[in-house]
Amino acid sequence: MGTKVPTADAVSKKWGEVTPGRSGYYASGVANAGADWEKNASGAGSAYKAAISAGNIQQMFTGGIKRAGAAKYQRKATGVGVDRFSTGVTAAVSDYQSGMSPMLSAIASVEPPARQPRGSAANQQRSVVYQVALNKARLAQRAAGA
C-alpha cells in the first residue's frame, strides 16, 4: 500500500487559508537577503548557460507554456496583475529612471545624418544611428554589473 497523503483539494484549501497570514515570515526572510541573492545568483552563470543550452530546452520551454495554458495566463493577468499594476509601477519609478537614463543620454548624443528627400533610402540611416547608439548603451549597461 502506498503512502497516505491528503487530497490536493485539502492541501490547496489549507495553503490558501494559512499562507496569506504568513507575510511576516516573508518580510523577515527577505529583509536582509539581497547580498546572499546577489552572491548566489552571480555565481550561477555556468548553471544558467548549461540550462539554456540543454538539448531539450525548446521543448521544455514550450511544454511549460502549454502546461500553464492560455486560461491560467488570462486568469492571473486579470485577477492578480491588474490589482498589482499600479503599486508595481509606483515601486519601480527609481528603477525605471536608472534604466532609462543611459538610453536617453545615448539618444541625446546622436547627431543623425541630414534628412534627404522623402522616399530616399539614405533616410534609413537616420534611424540606424539611433539603433547603434541604443544597442551600445544597452550592452554597456548589461556589462556594467559583470
pLDDT at 84 over 60: yes
pLDDT at 74 over 80: yes
Q: Which of 29-33, 35-39, 53-57, 139-143 has the lowest mean pLDDT?
A: 139-143
The DSSP symbol for 108 reads H
- For 5-50, how does the pLDDT look when each residue is reduced to its tens digit (9 = 90+)? 999 999 999 999 999 999 999 999 999 999 999 999 999 999 999 9
Measured CA to CA in angstroms, residue 2 lies from 5, 96, 146 at distances of 9, 53, 50
CB contact at 8 A, 134 and 105: no
Task: Give me the DSSP letters along 12-42.
Answer: HHHHHHHGGGGHHHHHHHHTT-HHHHHHHHH
Residue indicated by cell numbers 539614405: 122
Task: Give me the DSSP letters along 70-100.
Answer: HHHHHHHIIIIIHHHHHHHHHHTHHHHHHHH
